Amino acid sequence: MDYDVLIIGAGMSGLAAGIRLAYYDKRVCIIEKHYRVGGLNSFYNRGGRKFDVGLHAMTNYVPKGVKLTPLPKLLRQLKLKPEDFALCPQRMSAIKFPDKTIKFNNDIDFFVQEVVDNFPAQADNFQRLLKTIFEYDELNLYAKPISAREVVSSIISDPLLINMVFCPLMFYGNAQENDIEFGQFVIMFKGIYCEGFARPRAGVRQILDVLVRKYRGCGGELKMRCAVKSLKCANGRVESILLENGEVLTADKILSSAGYVETMRLLSNYDPTGIEDKAGQLSMVEFITVLDKQPAEMGHETTIIFYNNSDRFDYRKPDQLVNVSSGVICCPNNFQYENPLPEGMIRITNLANFDLWDRLGKEEYNAQKAAWLGTSLNEVIKLIPDFRDSIVFTDVFTPKTIHRFTGHINGAVYGTPNKTKMGITHLENLFICGTDQGFLGIVGAMLSGISMANLHVLQKG
Amino acid sequence: MTKEEVKSVLMEIVAEIIPDEDLTNLKGDIPIREQVELDSMDFLDIIMELRKRYGIEVPEDDYIHLATVDSSVAYLEPRMRDL
């Protein structure tokens, strides 16, 4: 078969790119190696229950009627209505460090007041930081990367406040250890503190169902359980696509959401020099607990807590299987739904080491999952009411699970720290979208697919 | 199509792309983007809709001709005359 555009991966970015292209009458095909769409933001069933893989909350939530921010922009681009995602805003979230708690909801003024109350000496500096953030053009694809730590510490003089502001932005979308690129920092800052969190009651399925239905409705083709074996290259371009099942496809252009290094590895003339060391290192483990009551009944009403229980805040690959000293506690129940979710649930995310998990034999792997669940629970009950007696079901996913779902080398949740903002590669018809292009989060991923489809296909006629 | 028809087709497309903007007082000789919230992504969709609906190809170098309503009509009219 011959296509105008072939898209590798049916995650948020691939589906969004596919909708744009199919809507404007391109012959487009998305190939997905998994039996399920979503990539990093997928879902699964276990023990008769439905679980989400990636999504804690969608960032960038704005109520209907607000214009010019990423969410309404992407809805417009995908020809969707705000109601389609059925987003329900959060209640209240918090950043908890030793001796300090900063709360935030979807109202930036509330967050600013919290910062000022907790760090009165930094009040003016924080206003200056906001001004710097609002004046920065974070969507400029040509901007040179700069260090957010450098920019922010030249404005804010209290390292504790810096780490507290950075913590959620790191956990929700940063591929780099301990620092974050300033453009990325601005995107995440606006998405989390200025706009805010929301979740569809049905979880990530809601978003994915809408995207798949829209894509198919526009005439797009979706091949599931279909993996690329190799991209045949000649004359500086990809000439054909060989699938694992032996089929050969051709396409004028290829958009890959598989990751930069992962895509390069598919090339028939792949030269690993200078490529392999670009692979990301940061991975995570998630402990999911199902409870026999609503968390609010136990006095836990916070939506998401970003915590750090240590004197230092380390956002890097841990030296042991898991680092429980910092992480994220998400309660999917604590969004403003019309009807409560049927069961209580608390999800804990911690940084984890892919290599160490990958090395374990099957029995040891399961034993370590159970052991670290206990360790992580011991840590989080310092921050929220002890809910361990209410747990009726648990599940754990590790860097190995992420690797299996996404194909990301090292189970790197947010891909490589070296983003390819323009999406171009050394091959003239091969482009990168999604995680490794550089807009992160669920909204960011969709915008990435849209931008790359616009830039490299639609604008070119 | 006559000039008037080209203009009404254009306005119909713009109205669909930015449904929550009021277009009634749009001035023909001032860039559309200076009068209503229309970003570069929305602008691209005007080009795409012209292609999808009428088969008109506007090359990237000609995007500048679609800045105002008047210049758009002047640019499109010869290309849509026979439709």
Q: What is the pLDDT of residue A139?
A: 77
Q: What is the pLDDT of residue A349?
A: 98
Read off the pLDDT of residues A218-271 as tens digits, 9 standing for 90 and up: 999 999 999 999 999 999 999 999 999 999 999 999 999 999 999 999 999 999
Mean pLDDT of chain A: 95
Q: What is the pLDDT of residue B52?
A: 94
A78: closest CA of chain B, how far (Å): 11
| Average pLDDT estimate for B63-74 | 95
pLDDT at B21 over 90: no
- Rounded CA-CA distance A394/A21 in Å is 41
Which residues of chain B neighbour A25 with C-beta distances below 8 Å? Answer: 52
User: A110 in the Ramachandran plot: left (φ > 0), alpha (ψ -120 to 50) or beta?
Assistant: alpha
| B18·A76 Cβ contact <8 A | yes
Read off the pLDDT of residues B26-62 as tens digits, 9 standing for 90 and up: 999 999 999 998 988 999 999 999 999 999 999 999 9
- E strands of A208-365, at which residues? 221-223, 228-234, 237-243, 248-256, 283-291, 304-308, 322-330, 344-352
Q: What is the pLDDT of residue A142?
A: 81
Q: What is the pLDDT of residue A460?
A: 87
Read off the pLDDT of residues A392-408 as tens digits, 9 standing for 90 and up: 999 999 999 999 888 99
* The CATH number, out of the four listed (1.10.132.50, 3.90.1300.10, 3.40.50.620, 1.10.1200.10), of the domain defined by the range B3-80: 1.10.1200.10
| B52·A25 Cβ contact <8 A | yes
Mutation site, B45, B53, B60, interface A, largest A CB count within 10 A = B45
Of B37, B51, B52, the CB nearest to A68: B37
Read off the pLDDT of residues A324-345 as tens digits, 9 standing for 90 and up: 999 999 999 999 999 999 999 9
Q: What is the pLDDT of residue A332?
A: 97
Percent composition of chain B: helix, strand, coil (DSSP 3-state, to 5): 65, 0, 35
What whole-number percentage of chain A has pLDDT above 90? 91
Q: What is the pLDDT of residue B17?
A: 93
Q: Give the nearest chain B residue to A452 (CA atoms).
A: B41
Q: What is the pLDDT of residue A439?
A: 82
| B41·A25 Cβ contact <8 A | no
| A65·B60 Cβ contact <8 A | no
Give the pLDDT band of residue A138 (cuts 50, 70, 90). confident
| Average pLDDT estimate for A98-102 | 96
HSE-CB of A319 using CA atoms within 13 angstroms:
1
A83 touches chain B (CB under 8 A): no
Q: Which helix (H) or strand (E) holds A119?
A: none
Which residues of chain A neighbour B42 with C-beta distances below 8 Å? Answer: 76
| A461·B59 Cβ contact <8 A | yes
A274 touches chain B (CB under 8 A): no
| A67·B45 Cβ contact <8 A | no
Q: How many CB pairs under 8 A join A and B?
A: 29
Burial annotation A145-156 (CB, 10 A radius, 16+ → b, else e)? eeebbebbeebb
Q: Give the nearest chain A residue to B39 (CA atoms).
A: A68
Contact present, A325 and A309 (Cβ < 8 Å)? yes
Read off the pLDDT of residues A46-60 as tens digits, 9 standing for 90 and up: 988 989 988 899 999
Q: What is the pLDDT of residue A67?
A: 82
User: A302 in the Ramachandran plot: left (φ > 0), alpha (ψ -120 to 50) or beta?
Assistant: beta
Q: What is the pLDDT of residue A140?
A: 79
Read off the pLDDT of residues A345-384 as tens digits, 9 standing for 90 and up: 999 999 999 999 999 999 999 999 999 999 999 999 999 9
HSE-CB of A43 using CA atoms within 13 angstroms:
17
Read off the pLDDT of residues A160-196 as tens digits, 9 standing for 90 and up: 999 999 999 999 999 999 999 999 999 999 999 999 9
Q: How many CB atoms lie within 10 A of CB B14?
A: 23
Q: What is the pLDDT of residue A20?
A: 98
A450 touches chain B (CB under 8 A): yes
Q: What is the pLDDT of residue A144?
A: 87
Which residues of B fall below an 8 Å CB-CB distance to A? 17-18, 20, 37, 39, 41-42, 44-45, 48, 51-52, 57, 59-60
Q: What is the pLDDT of residue B20?
A: 83
A22 touches chain B (CB under 8 A): no
What whole-number percentage of chain A has pLDDT above 70? 100
Of A65, A67, A77, the CB nearest to B41: A77
A443 touches chain B (CB under 8 A): no
Domains of chain A: 2-85+203-278+416-460 (3.50.50.60), 91-195 (no CATH), 281-406 (no CATH)
Q: Give the nearest chain B residue to A456 (CA atoms).
A: B60
pLDDT at A141 over 80: no
Of the candidates A79, A63, A74, the residue with the CA atom closest to the CA atom of residue A24? A79
Of the candidates A106, A19, A120, the residue with the CA atom closest to the CA atom of residue A63? A106
Q: Give the nearest chain B residue to A21 (CA atoms).
A: B48
ipTM confidence score = 0.90
Domain positions in chain B are 3-80
